[in-house]
Every structure is written in C-alpha cells, then in structure tokens.
Amino acid sequence: MAQLKLLTFNTWGLPMASKDHPLRLGRQAEYFRNEGRDLDIVFLQEVWTPEYVKLLSDAGADAGLTHITTFDGGVFGAGLMLMSRYPITDLAFRTFSVRGEPGALEGEAMAGKGIGYARVVLPSGSAMHLFNTHTHANWVHSVKADEQLPDVKVPTDSFAPFRTAHMLDAVAFMKPIVEAAAAAGELVFAAGDWNVPYDNLEACLLQSLLPCLKDSWQAAGHAPLDPEGNTCGCPTNVYTGSIIGGYVPERIDFIWTNAHVLSCEAVLRRMPGTELNYSDHHAVQVTAACQVAAQAAAAAPSAPQAKGDRVKASAAVPSESPSADSSGKAGSKPAVQLHAETASNTPHAGHDTTSGLPGPIAEARVSPTASSGSKAAGAAGPRGPLPGPEDPGHPARRARLLRLARRQLQDGLSAASVRLQSFKSRGWLSAAASVVALGVVYYGIMATTDHWAKRLCAGVAALGLVGSTSYGLYMVPLSCMDTASRRGLEQVGRMADVWLRVAEEQAQAQAAAGGGAGPEGGRKAAGKSA
C-alpha cells in the first residue's frame, strides 16, 4: 500500500436545527456506500443522533470501512465519528476543559465537544495516529491584526476565549502523541471542523506548538487563501443563509499531517440530481503517501536532556532554528509557506465574497494595520520586532502567540465573572419575589374576607410564585456551569503559562547564542520583551 485516502466532513446532522437532514444524511450514506470503497479513513463531525450514527456506520461497513467508533460526552454528545479500513488498536477521548457560554441559545455549553484519538495499524504493521475534533463555532468573524505579528488575525468576538481554550486543549492532548510519532517516523492525521481560518490566532497556535504538522491544503501546493479550498460560508452553498450571523467564505475544515501530501481538494458539494448541498460544509479529501514528509521528520523533537541543561538543549531543537527550514536546509524557505497572503481591511481578503447569492454576508473586520509578506510581519512594532511568518516555529513568535492566547483566556474569565454575578443577582431577586408572592398567597388563603380582588391577587401571586421560583432554580445550574467554565479557563491558562515559560527560555537561549547583535539578534531578543 503506497497511498492513503482520507476525508473529513461536517455532516450538519442536527435534527430540528439543520435543514433537509433526513434527505441529506441519506444521500451522505449513499455516497459513503459507493465512493467509500476508495477511502481509507473518514472523519465525521455533527453526527448527533444514534439513528444517523447507525445509518452512516452501515454505509461505511458496506464500503469496507468496518472499524468504526464514536466519541461522546456532555448532554448532547460530541457528534464525532471515525470510520477506518484498518484495525483500531487504541482509543481515547478528551472533552474540552471549557465548553461554551452557559445559557446561550447556541447550546455549545450543553454539547460534549472534545478531541478523539485512535491508533490504527496499517497492513505494513506500522502505526498511524488519528485525531478528530470540532471546536466552538464562530458566528461573528470579527478579527484584528496583531500589532507585532500583523499576519496573525486575533478574533474579537465574545466566543473567542472558548475557541482558544479548545485549541490549547487539543494541542495539549495531541502533543505527546504527535511528538512521539514524529520521533518514530509514524504518520499523524489531525482532522475536523476547527472553526477557524488558517491565519487566525487559534490555528497559528497549533502551527507554532506542533510545527511537525502541516496544513494538507498548502502541503498539496495550493495557495492558503485559494477560494476553491473554502469549506464553509460559500455563496454557492444553498444552506449558507442558514448559518447563524451570516457568513464569511473561509477554509475552516483541516487535515493537519506530517505525511507527504499528494493531493487535497474540497469535495461533497452539490448532491447529484438536486439543487441541494450535502451539508452547510464541504468535505476535505486528502491523498497522502504512506511515509512521513522529510520536513516533518526533521521537526521531530530531540532526545530528552538533563534538567540542568534544559535551556541550552531547547535552543538546539531543529524545528526552532530561525535560519533553517523544516527540512534542515540552512537559509532556505519553509517547505510550506504560511501566512503569505495579503490581508486587508476588506472581509477576509482572498475569500470568495460573491454577492447576490443566498445568505447575509457577515462582516469580517480586519485592522487596517494588517499587511502581507514576511517583511511586514517582521517589521518593528511598539515594543520591537518579532519573527515574521517565515519562522512559524520560532520560540519568540510562539511566546507572542501564547501571550495573545492568555489575553483571550483572561477576557473569558472576566466575562464569566460578570455572568456569574448576574446569575447570582437574578437568583436573589427571584428568591425575594418568591417570598413576596408567597406572602400574598398566604394572605389570600387566611384572610376572612371573601372579595373578588382578594381572589384575583392570590391567583396572580400564585402564578408569580411558580414563575419566580422556577427562574431562581434555573439560575442555580447556570451559576454552576459558569463556575465550571471559570475553572476550565483557569486550568487552560496554567497550561499556556507553562508553554509560555518554555518558549521564553528558548527565545533567550537563541538570543544568547546569536550574541544579540545584528538584525537576527535583535529579532530574537524581542521575544522576551514583547
């Protein structure tokens, strides 16, 4: 077996909330029953019901994808499903530390989203490591360019802290497995609906913290903002108008891998014989060689060093070298060019923004300071220059990204504190209203007079008592969920602090090794002070 064919797809299989789901899921099953014979691995998201799990499982089994599992958590489940042609030998699932805003109509807080892992054994006997995930949705698409890394778009919507936390959680779960696999020369594929474009902060964190994983779309030779790669919000998709908050055409479904990618394309668009689409997302299909790409092998971590040599050893990690690409060739450009497109103050420059088609177009607000090219990204900011996009694994860049992530998490904690105080205040007001209503009801029962006004007041008070008590009780689980949300954000923050400290130590070590002189020395030294 020389090649593998993999597909990731958000099925949009949510009853009562997604349109035409019985028809679409039936046609999806038909597709996998027929076309699945050419597939080796299928990653699915938003398969929310047992009925749809069985429907797609039966179709996959008919196509030879007989090794099937789901990943579940929370009240509504995780909606994650994996179908494999080859045996699964290990399974794990990690629910995200924080889920969503309690009480929000989107229902993210009730879902059990997380990241699933499966170890698969290929016919050659080698292992392959698979990850499947679905992070918090993005309905606002409001971003700004970072002042020191203008190629990085920082989200400004209220749900951004949850997506950032999900990405950091996913990286923490993947990191030891991915690094061990890279060191052993084993294949890794991390797929799913990541809900962020490649140049947003969340995706940049993954690229920096796991530099051995590359975006399959770019690894196959496509431009990062090629509209042919857009998987959600496409104006040509009839369901785009159903997306909450409008849409921005963007590529948010990824397969990250260390394999040598032969091709990558967006598939499962229009259902044959109809004017409908398979989903509000398009699928991503990747053909990869059964071998680790040279640049990914070069990025494998070095052997552990003694504790006292930690800073010095960190500086020697091949993937961190600012003067070499991921294949180890000094002075050359990275094999996969990241953040090379021009950003502007128009909605997601480079995306398909065709007008006159279904669905409102949500504004993607980008700071006018956003500019393109590695020179712009490396230009001096208010606190000095930082490594540009040609150094995606540079520790100073990683430190800056982690500081931005910590700021996002802190914003989430502040919002959670305000919500919690609001829940408590409303709970106490409900309790006070219940006491007053109870007093009126008691008076209506015990008073000796029998007047219509007394009976009316007692009846109204009884209804008010039921309403205020119910509302007060509703505040209790919301307060508990918000407390859990705070704890989750704090835990992810502690994890990010550890990575930040290590990145700062590595940046200091590289700056010291470079002598702190010249353009490179100045750029490296800026990592600590930024």
Mind spelling out the 3-state secondary structure of 206-230?
HHHHCCCCEEHHHHCCCCCCCHHHC
Ramachandran category for residue 331: left, alpha or beta (phi over 0 → left; psi -120 to 50 → alpha): left
Q: Is 267 exposed, middle or buried (0-12, 13-18, 19+ CB in 10 A)?
A: middle
Distance CA 413, CA 488 (A): 10
pLDDT for residue 300? 58
Higher pLDDT, 243 or 493: 493
Angstrom distance (rounded) from CA 487 to CA 420: 13
Q: Are residues 43 and 191 in the same domain?
A: yes
Q: Which residues contact 74 (CB under 8 A, 6 or more apart)?
A: 95, 99, 110, 111, 112, 113
206 lies in a domain? Answer: yes
CB atoms within 10 A of CB 329: 13
Choosing from 300, 322, 344, the residue where a domain stops is 322
Lowest mean pLDDT among 120-134, 159-173, 183-197, 295-309: 295-309
pLDDT at 380 over 60: no
> Residue 367 pLDDT more than 60?
no
CA atoms within 13 A on the CB side of 70: 19
Strand partners, 80: 71
- Please give the single-letter amino acid code of residue 399: A
Same domain flag for 300 and 431: no
pLDDT at residue 23 tops 80: yes
Segment 376-396 mean pLDDT? 53
Q: Which helix (H) or strand (E) holds 526?
A: helix 518-529
pLDDT bracket for residue 246 (50, 70, 90):
low
User: Encoding tokens for residue 294?
Assistant: 């040279």
Lowest model confidence (mean pLDDT) among 62-71, 92-101, 233-242: 233-242
**Residue 517 pLDDT greater than 90, yes or no:** no
pLDDT above 90 as % of the chain: 45
- Range in 42-46, 228-232, 389-393, 459-463 with the lowest mean pLDDT: 389-393
Q: What is the DSSP letter of 144?
A: E
In a domain, 329, yes or no: no
CATH number of the structural domain spanning residue 273: 3.60.10.10
- pLDDT score at 490: 92
Among 185-194, 375-384, 501-510, where is mean pLDDT lowest? 375-384
* Higher pLDDT, residue 172 or 16: 172
According to DSSP, the residues that pair with 188 across neighbouring strands are 129
Establish if 350 belongs to a structural domain. no
Grouping H, G, I as helix, E, B as strand and the rest as coil, residue 71 is strand
Q: How far apart are CA 344 and CA 144, in angstroms?
A: 10
The model's pLDDT over 103-121, given as tens digits with 9 standing for 90+, comes to 676 677 778 899 999 999 9
pLDDT at 301: 55
Mean pLDDT of the chain: 79
Residue 366 lies in a domain: no
Of 362 and 41, more confident: 41
Split at pLDDT 50, 70, 90, the class of 449 is confident
Q: What pLDDT sits at residue 245?
A: 55
Q: From the CA atom positions of the chain, what is the Rg in Å?
A: 26
Domain holding 471, by residue range, is 405-513
Would you place residue 390 in the very low, low, confident or very high pLDDT band (cuts 50, 70, 90)? low
Residue 429: pLDDT above 60?
yes
Cα–Cα distance list, 125 to 1, 65, 66, 120, 290 (Å): 11, 18, 18, 10, 12
* pLDDT for the residue 361: 40
Q: Which of 72-76, 137-141, 236-240 has the lowest mean pLDDT?
A: 72-76
Query: In this structure, are residues 42 and 70 in contact, taking their beta carbons and an 8 Å threshold?
Result: no
Say if CB 117 and CB 131 are below 8 A apart.
Answer: yes
Q: Which tokens hold the place of 513?
A: 């090794």
Phi and psi based region of residue 77 (left: phi greater than 0; alpha: psi -120 to 50; beta: remaining):
left
The answer to the question of residue 328 being in a domain is no
pLDDT tops 50 at residue 68: yes
Question: What is the pLDDT confidence band of residue 242, given thresholds at 50, 70 and 90?
Answer: low
Instruction: Count the domains in the chain.
Output: 2
Please give the helix or strand (H or E) that residue 132 lies within, else none: strand 127-134
Q: Is residue 35 part of a domain?
A: yes
> Is residue 121 located within the same domain as residue 257?
yes
Mean pLDDT throughout 79-104? 90
CA distance 362 to 226: 19
Q: Look at residue 444 and tell me if it is in a domain.
A: yes
Give the domain-ending residue among 294, 322, 350.
322
The number of angstroms, rounded, from the C-alpha of 353 to the middle of its chain's C-alpha atoms is 23
The pLDDT value given to residue 293: 82
Higher pLDDT, 66 or 458: 66
Phi, psi of 83 (to 5 degrees): -120, 130
pTM for the full predicted model? 0.78
User: Looking at the domain assignment, is residue 197 inside a domain?
Assistant: yes
B/e letters for 481-513, b = 16+ CB within 10 Å, e = fewer, are bbebbbebbbbbbebbeebbebbbbbbbbbbee
CA atoms 356, 361, 363, 366: torsion sign? negative
Residue 320 has pLDDT above 80, yes or no: no
Whether the predicted pLDDT of 345 surpasses 70: no
- DSSP category for residue 357: S
Higher pLDDT, 260 or 420: 260
Tens digit of each residue's pLDDT (9 = 90 or more) over 247-277: 788 999 999 999 999 999 999 999 998 999 9
Q: Among 299, 322, 345, where does a domain finish?
A: 322
**For the residues 367-373, what does the mean pLDDT come to?**
38
pLDDT of residue 298: 63
Of 194-208, 336-350, 478-492, give the lowest mean pLDDT range.
336-350
Q: For the beta carbon of residue 40, count every other beta carbon within 10 angstroms.
A: 23
What confidence score (pLDDT) does residue 430 get? Answer: 87
